[in-house]
Amino acid sequence: MAVIANTATMWTSSDLFHTSFKHRDHRSLTELRRKNREVTEGVEQLETSVKHAREEMGRAIQSEQRALEAREEAMRANRAKSVFLANMAHELRSPLNAILGFAQLLQRSVDRCPEDRESLGVILSSGNHLLSLINDVLSVSKIEAGRVTLNEQVFEVRRALQGLEEMFRVRARAKALTLAFEPGPGLPDTVRGDEGKLRQILINLLENAMKFTERGSITLRASWREGLARFEVEDTGPGIPETEHETILEPFQQTDSGLRSGQGSGLGLSISRGFIRMMGGDIRIRSEMGRGTTFSFEIPLPAAEGSVRHSESRRVIGLEPNQRTFRILVADDQEETRILMARMLEPLGFRVLGAADGAEAMRIWRTWAPHLVWMDMRMPRLDGYEATRRIRSSERRSDPGAVVPLTGRPRCAIIALTASAFEHDQAAIRAAGCDDFVSKPFQFHAILDKLVRHLGVRFRYEDSETSQPATAGLTMERLQSLPAEWVENLSLASALGDDLAAHRVVDRISQRDAPLGLELRKIVKRFQFEELAGLLKEVQNDRCQCVAC
């Protein structure tokens, strides 16, 4: 019985041991399974995270790809816009060059009848207005594209301001406005900067002030200190609300007053700000409703040494004697331009030939040896760039195709003619071998200035035979012989600065007294209205005294 009891006890202990082991094993298995589930869940989470990361990366790559595609599309659109603008500028400027050029030729004639002179004035005024609108649109596009560069040179800032004052004096007088230009005493005689862009900025600001100021005054102030120039244009117009100060500086934006006036394109202020920023400054607006507005800006204009050459403003009538016969070649695919240049230059004593493309220009250059070539840079078959490069290459070596030997032949001056918006890259034009360039539509005086600069031409001028003042030959007796109505009309035109009205009266005077009419025409052409008004006032006062007696 004891054995049996012991055996039972042993089995009971073994069962307990196995049961305990089984329980521990079960717990371990349960723990292992739990950990396995945790690992599995962790792997699943990791896989999900990796999947999400891949999806995010894919979306980022797609987004970057779309951004690259959008950027490339924008660049293509910008290039297309540039090409379109260049083509449109060429297409618009070329006919304008003919319109304004032939109008200038007709205006130079001294025997125009009053009706013709008035019609020519309308053509030139309307053509120049259209050109200014084209230039405004192109300027904004070139500023946005970063294609505008500064053309810095030495210039006389006081002389530039004086020219602007003369330009706006007549318009201010016609609106009964007081126009004041106040250059500070510290302004240097000469400075270095982009005179053309500074002039355009001030013209835009003055025109804006002139447009909206109905009474009171317009003032331009200029000061200078340590290389920094400050300009202010102040008016007594209606003022600009502060909420519109930033808006009006954006392209094609106008104030409510501007929209009501129906004038302008809304580009002048935007162009001005673009130019000012290019020159290292920014524009500021200060305005009070009902009191007026002041636009101001500061730009670097360091003082400079040296003299400035001024072009001759008198009317050219021919070449001085004892000069060689200058041969001029005009290479342009537009027949109107070739005819215009010939009619401008041949009456002065130049020999002129035309070429319709670069290949023909090369043939004429070889056989005729021109002293100067006006080279249109955009022509079919062989353009001006390649024609210029070939001419320069032939000059550097012996050219068997040249009928006139190259040895001993003077280097030919080549001046580019360009009508496109983005062809004003002087570096590219000069790299091709051109000595200079002129933009279309060109002014007659610009053509003559280039001939003087590159050929040393000496011209005869309309009044070069006398150094007397224009009014020296006008005596009281000669003026008193005119009908009272003519004197009164000419006096009124002089007081208003209306050159067209003055020319109409002078044309009538010329039919009666040709020498007197010629002297009066010289005065009107020089816009010496103050001197003329003074003389005519004396005539009228003298007549009043005679009537009283």
CATH number reported for the structural domain that contains residue 281 in this entry: 3.30.565.10
The verdict on 193 and 280 lying in the same domain is yes
The residues, any chain, with a CB within 8 Å of residue 382's CB and separated by 6 or more, are 357, 358, 359, 362
Domain contains 522: yes
> How many domains is the chain built from?
3
The verdict on 296 and 161 lying in the same domain is yes
Joined together, the tokens standing for residue 336 give 């109107």
Question: Which one of 404, 435, 461 terminates a domain?
Answer: 461
Domain contains 88: no
**pLDDT tens, N- to C-terminus, the chain (549 residues):** 554 445 445 545 555 555 555 566 667 777 777 777 777 877 778 888 888 888 888 788 887 788 777 777 766 666 666 666 666 666 777 778 878 888 877 877 766 676 676 677 767 766 776 776 676 666 666 666 666 677 788 888 888 888 888 778 877 877 889 999 999 888 898 899 988 889 889 988 998 888 889 899 999 999 999 899 999 999 999 888 887 777 677 755 555 555 444 454 557 788 888 889 989 999 999 988 888 999 999 999 999 876 666 555 567 888 888 888 899 999 999 898 999 999 989 988 999 999 999 999 999 999 999 999 999 988 888 999 999 999 999 887 766 555 555 555 678 999 998 876 554 567 788 889 999 988 888 888 889 999 999 999 999 887 644 434 444 456 666 777 788 888 887 877 777 666 677 777 887 787 777 777 777 877 776 666 666 777 777 776 665 555 444
Phi-psi region at 12: left, alpha or beta (left = phi > 0; alpha = psi -120 to 50)? alpha
Domain contains 372: yes
The verdict on 166 and 294 lying in the same domain is yes
Helix axes 195-212, 157-174, angle to 10 degrees: 20
The verdict on 216 and 355 lying in the same domain is no
Task: Give the C-alpha separation, 73 to 327, whole Å.
Answer: 49
Q: Which of 173, 249, 183 has the alpha carbon at shortest distance from 219?
A: 183
Domain contains 64: no
The verdict on 335 and 403 lying in the same domain is yes
In 184-261 the beta strands, taken as DSSP E runs, fall at: 191-193, 217-225, 228-235
The verdict on 360 and 433 lying in the same domain is yes
Question: Which one of 266, 300, 334 terminates a domain?
Answer: 300
With 0-12 / 13-18 / 19 or more C-beta atoms within 10 angstroms meaning exposed / middle / buried, residue 253 is: middle
Joined together, the tokens standing for residue 45 give 């989470």
What does DSSP say about strands 228-235 and 283-288: parallel, antiparallel, or unpaired?
unpaired
Domain contains 129: no
Alpha helices by DSSP H, listed for 369-435, are 384-395, 426-431
Specify the CATH number for the domain of residue 401: 3.40.50.2300
Joined together, the tokens standing for residue 382 give 């062989």
User: Coil, strand or helix: which one is 418?
Assistant: strand
Domain contains 368: yes
Domain contains 417: yes
**Number of C-beta neighbours around residue 304 at 10 A:** 17
The verdict on 413 and 524 lying in the same domain is no
The verdict on 268 and 336 lying in the same domain is no
The verdict on 352 and 401 lying in the same domain is yes
Question: Which one of 461, 490, 517 terminates a domain?
Answer: 461
Task: Give the C-alpha separation, 134 to 136, whole Å.
Answer: 5
**Number of C-beta neighbours around residue 108 at 10 A:** 14
H or E element that contains 181: strand 178-183
What does DSSP say about strands 327-331 and 351-355: parallel, antiparallel, or unpaired?
parallel
The predicted model scores a pTM of 0.56
The verdict on 508 and 448 lying in the same domain is no
Domain contains 511: yes
The verdict on 266 and 363 lying in the same domain is no
Q: Which of 104, 100, 96, 94 has the alpha carbon at shortest distance from 333?
A: 94
The verdict on 431 and 498 lying in the same domain is no
Domain extent, residue 244, equals 153-300
